[in-house]
Amino acid sequence: MLRNFVLFLSENKSLKKFITNFTLIKEMAGRFVVGDTLQEAVPRVREINKMGMNVTMDHLGEHVNDTEEADASADAYLNLLDTIQKERLKAHISIKLTQMGLSIDREFCINNVEKIIKKAREYENFVRIDMEGSLYTQETLNIFYSLREKYDNVGIVIQSYLHRSEEDIMELIKKKGFVRLCKGAYEEPSSIAFKNKKDVEDNYLKLTRLLLDSKILNEGYYPAIATHDVKMIIGVKKYVREQNIEPNKFEFQMLYGVRRDLQKILRDEGYNVRLYVPYGREWYAYYLRRLGERTDNVTFLLRNLMLD
């Protein structure tokens, strides 16, 4: 119920305008978003790197409706790649296809993404294509497969709440498509997604076992396990111990601002940890998805709004 409500809010355009200018909420979004600009993001990324963790940077934005906006997003990523290189940051990038114009025109979108991947390849950098709502799942995978045939510095995301994910992962492993596995952040119908928390978790652990197969890891396959869920992390650690998988064969990923304690524990235990670090003015939809993941976040926000 609560999740549906915040997701509904995240798609409401007039509310978006009002809320984006709302200073208090913006300050609170600062827990999850490092700043409006790349200049603000760079020192934070450097600090994270100094703490022994890598980063994937997200220039916030999604669902752009005109080509100028999509081109501006692509340019922002090209500039980001230059900056990562110049500042010697240990950072990859994460992009969304709807930010690159997927809803406008498929070829236009691919062209934008390809520019980014080529530039990243020049710098030996890596581009992760985030997974959005199920309306885009198949198209995102199709585009990913066509890009993966030409480039090896591109990866994808799979969501354990979708029924189809096991089959997708089998196919991706066959085609050497590097996967970031997450639970999934959108509201999906029960016809295509597990609605029960335990089913999502069981599927998550099942899928990690496919991704952490020692044979494919020894061939250079490098999965990313994206979660803050202690149960998932314990399950993964137990599995890699049993299978004698070295910690450098995969990485844990977490969101900036979530479970900092766990991030440090995993780093201290010798695991590779990468933080997803978003920046930019389009923080609204991202912030509301983070709110929707935790009831406490919503009550905290509402309490602060009422006290204001």
Ligand X SMILES: Cc1cc2nc3c(=O)[nH]c(=O)nc-3n(C[C@H](O)[C@H](O)[C@H](O)COP(=O)(O)OP(=O)(O)OC[C@H]3O[C@@H](n4cnc5c(N)ncnc54)[C@H](O)[C@@H]3O)c2cc1C
Amino acid residing at 223: P
- The single residue of 58, 128, 168, 180 carrying the catalytic annotation is 180
**Residue of 157, 181, 240, 273 that binds ligand X (CB under 6 A):** 157
Q: 40-60: string of b/e by CB count within 10 Å (b at 16+)?
A: ebbebbbebbeeebbbbbbbb
Tell me the C-alpha to C-alpha distance, in Å, between residue 188 and each of 2, 7, 138, 163, 177: 14, 11, 15, 11, 24
Q: How far apart are CA 247 and CA 241, in angstroms?
A: 9
Q: Which of 58, 128, 130, 274 is catalytic?
A: 130
How many residues form the binding site for ligand X (CB under 6 A)?
Answer: 23
E strand or H helix at 224: strand 224-226
Nearest C-alpha neighbor of 35 from the set 151, 18, 43, 188: 43
- Point out which residues pair with 128 in neighbouring strands: 94, 155
Q: Which is nearer to ligand X, 31 or 86 (CB)?
A: 31
Among 253, 266, 280, 282, binds ligand X (CB under 6 A): 253
Window contacting ligand X (CB under 6 A); options: 3-11, 97-105, 112-120, 293-301: 293-301
The answer to the question of residue 186 lying near ligand X (CB under 6 A) is yes
Which residue, among 289, 283, 300, has the nearest Cα to 22 in the 3D structure? 283
Quick one: which segment of 7-15, 210-218, 252-260, 278-286 binds ligand X (CB under 6 A)?
Answer: 252-260
Contact positions with ligand X (CB under 6 A) in 204-243: 226-229
Residues 6+ apart with CB under 8 A from 175: 145, 148
Q: Which of residues 102-131 bind ligand X (CB under 6 A)?
A: 130-131
Q: Does residue 130 carry a catalytic annotation? A: yes
Position among 61, 101, 184, 235 found at the interface with ligand X (CB under 6 A): 184
Asked whether position 134 contacts ligand X by CB under 6 A, the answer is no
- Closest CB to ligand X among 94 and 153? 94
Catalytic residues: 130, 180
Residues binding ligand X (CB under 6 A): 130-131, 157, 159, 182-186, 226-229, 253-255, 258-259, 276, 290, 293-294, 297
